[in-house]
Chain A
Amino acid sequence: MKAEEVVAGILLALLLIYVVAINPDIFRISRVGYSIEFKFEEKTYFIWTNRWVDVAIQAFMLFATATALSALFREEKVEEAEEEVVVEGGEG
């Protein structure tokens, strides 16, 4: 068996375990108990308060992404001589 197939098998098994752990109903497995008691459904005020900065920054993230794409897809002319790259294992 090739190494890639083993890795793929392990990943698939992990995915199945994850799905069963998060949503056991998919396989009609009933959950007996759950160790974490989630509070956020009772107290939702936090997520709806003081969010102006976050919303504004998410807009800036779009700007940053657009700028990043613009930088990476720009036309480039290399005029100067480039610095030599030291390849690991090569001659020093």
Chain B
Amino acid sequence: MNPMLPLLTLLGGSVATPLVGMFSRKIRFEKIRDAWAILAFLVTTCYFSYLIYSGKLPLYYAVKLEPSWASIEIRIDSFSAYMSLIFSFLGLMVSIYSVGYMSGETGLDEYYALLLTLVAGMIGVTMANDLFTLYVFWELMCISSYTLVSFRKHRWEAVEAGFKYLVMSTIGSLIALYSISLLYGIAGTLNFSELSQIISSGAESISTSTLYFIIAMIIAGFGVTAAIVPFHTWLPDAHPAAPSSISAMLSGVVIKTGAYVIFRSLYAVFFPTEFLYGHILILFGLLTMSVANIMVILQKDIKRFLAYSSIANMGYIILGLGVSTYIAHFYPSDIAAVSLALLGSLFHVLNHAVGKGLLFLGAGCFIKQAKTRNIAKLEGIGRKMPVSAVSFSVGLLNLAGVPPMSGFWSKFFIIIAMLSHPKDTLLHTSTIVFVVNILVAAGYYLWLLQRITLRKPGEQLSKIREVSPSMVIPVAILACICILLTLFIAPVLDLISGPVEALIGYLHKPEAIGGV
């Protein structure tokens, strides 16, 4: 199958959405437009599922044409396919959810077109074979997400949050672009495999301080979207202000795209065995989770609560990356610990994408019915909306890391990797801070669970009923997936071992990316 198929499906679907919308209004059946978007996501999800299970990875696709600028070169390895599958699957769930959730709103042609473009941008980022193409797709993703955050433009909150996100993300993108242009300046290429060869050979007097400067800018630039503290301040405003379906996308997958680029750039270009940045990432990870976990406790707004907890979870993911690169630098022979930290981190990407997608969609169900985001006023709503509440509780238990849920295992793997060198002071101390953060997080997730589901509902919730099936079904599916991830953990870990091997492979053979 043509590797361009997912991009063509999503982008073609996006361009055609306004036309399908016009047609569906003409025949007075607007659900056709919604079905169109769902179909595009379904095709993409099926494509990546097939690609992963067929074992045809890595897939290198090049079409040589004259003039040479018109040629095409893309690459899908296990890591790209894994991330793309998560992106497209959550896009599918969100598009189904939007049928009920967004009904009654105007501008739905634009909404679905931008949702498709958003996912196309994210998938493009993972498929890019060079940093220039990656950046172009990155911008496509950003443009869509700014608008979707401020989609409910009649509210001051959405406009303010969208503008803040626009300003901060643009500054981050510019920092990233500067690092990319510096790399191009010193290496004459941005192709991942060529860059890794040039930089690892220490070729032609490239200043080490310049390379560390570039690493710092990559982490800071893409770290804005990944919501690493202190670049996170856009997120607690943007997630509550956006429609809940978009909050699920932002929290579930958009911030993971920032993490993906950091993972890919650092492992593919700046080998952790040669460059020391692991300790900085560990400190960023710890700072991110600690600040966010403290902030969560202060929140009264359920979406802001979930938004801060997303930042904390990004801290876990960045910590896993930091631990793997730190061990790869100081204990290069201990590939098992490097793999375990990466496995935990990438497994947490999946757990958090599914879990937080579920929580935001579930919170959207409650908010849609109760017309409030205030946790105090949502107390006991679970008793009125049993399906949503049970699904929401599964998501909370998963992210709380309650054994045996999959959220427990991803954090456990990172801890085991950190304890692999008990005499290392940084790893040892970090483990203690990490465990304290996990316990705090478990406490506030369980606190939210008991407030939403176990308490008696107040008078104002007396007329509340369960939401429409199109909203409940994706929430229930995501809850089932949380349980399936726990029950079938062995095949899931087999699946994630592919991306781990793809990243570890860079440490041994730079040409593993399948480049020229």
Contact at B133–A83, with CB atoms within 8 Å? no
Q: Bound state CA distance, A19 and B404, in angstroms? A: 58
Contact at A76–B72, with CB atoms within 8 Å? no
Residues 84-119 of B at the A interface (beta carbon under 8 Å) = 104, 106-107, 110-111, 113-114, 117
Size range of the chain A interface in the assembly: 35 or more
* Residue from A51, A58, A81, A82 within 8 A of B155 (CB atoms): A82
Which residues on the A side are within 8 Å of B70 (C-beta)? 51-52
- Shortest Cβ gap from A41 to chain B (Å): 9
Size range of the chain B interface in the assembly: 35 or more
0/1 string, B157-183, CB within 8 A of A gives 1: 100000000000000000000000010
Indicate whether B450 reaches chain A with its CB closer than 8 angstroms: no
Which residues on the B side are within 8 Å of A5 (C-beta)? none
Which residues on the A side are within 8 Å of B207 (C-beta)? 35-36
Which residues on the A side are within 8 Å of B367 (C-beta)? 83
Binds B, one of A10-18, A24-32, A59-67: A59-67
Given contacts A48-B69, A49-B69, whether A64 and B190 have CB atoms under 8 Å apart is no
Indicate whether B301 reaches chain A with its CB closer than 8 angstroms: yes
Indicate whether B453 reaches chain A with its CB closer than 8 angstroms: no
For residue A44, which residue of chain B has the nearest CB? B188
Indicate whether A4 reaches chain B with its CB closer than 8 angstroms: no
For residue A92, which residue of chain B has the nearest CB? B300
Indicate whether A2 reaches chain B with its CB closer than 8 angstroms: no
Contact at B117–A64, with CB atoms within 8 Å? yes
Indicate whether A68 reaches chain B with its CB closer than 8 angstroms: yes
Indicate whether B124 reaches chain A with its CB closer than 8 angstroms: yes
Interface centre among B67, B74, B136 (most CB of A within 10 A): B136
Residues 67-85 of A at the B interface (beta carbon under 8 Å) = 67-68, 70-72, 74-85
DSSP majority for the B interface? helix
Indicate whether B24 reaches chain A with its CB closer than 8 angstroms: no
Q: Bound state CA distance, A38 and B18, in angstroms? A: 46
Which residues on the A side are within 8 Å of B157 (C-beta)? 85
- Shortest Cβ gap from B192 to chain A (Å): 12
Contact at B155–A46, with CB atoms within 8 Å? no
Indicate whether B132 reaches chain A with its CB closer than 8 angstroms: yes
Given contacts A83-B372, A85-B157, whether A39 and B185 have CB atoms under 8 Å apart is yes
Which residues on the B side are within 8 Å of A57 (C-beta)? 124, 133, 136-137, 140
Contact at B143–A64, with CB atoms within 8 Å? yes
Indicate whether B146 reaches chain A with its CB closer than 8 angstroms: yes
Q: Bound state CA distance, A84 and B205, in angstroms? A: 60
Contact at A36–B69, with CB atoms within 8 Å? no
Indicate whether A86 reaches chain B with its CB closer than 8 angstroms: yes
- Shortest Cβ gap from B296 to chain A (Å): 14
Contact at A46–B110, with CB atoms within 8 Å? no
- Shortest Cβ gap from A43 to chain B (Å): 4
For residue B185, which residue of chain A has the nearest CB? A38
Given contacts A83-B367, A83-B371, A86-B374, whether A35 and B210 have CB atoms under 8 Å apart is yes
| New A-B pairs, 16, CB < 8 Å, besides A42-B188, A84-B377 | A39-B188, A40-B185, A48-B67, A51-B71, A53-B136, A63-B117, A67-B18, A68-B114, A75-B106, A76-B107, A76-B153, A78-B154, A83-B367, A83-B370, A84-B371, A92-B300
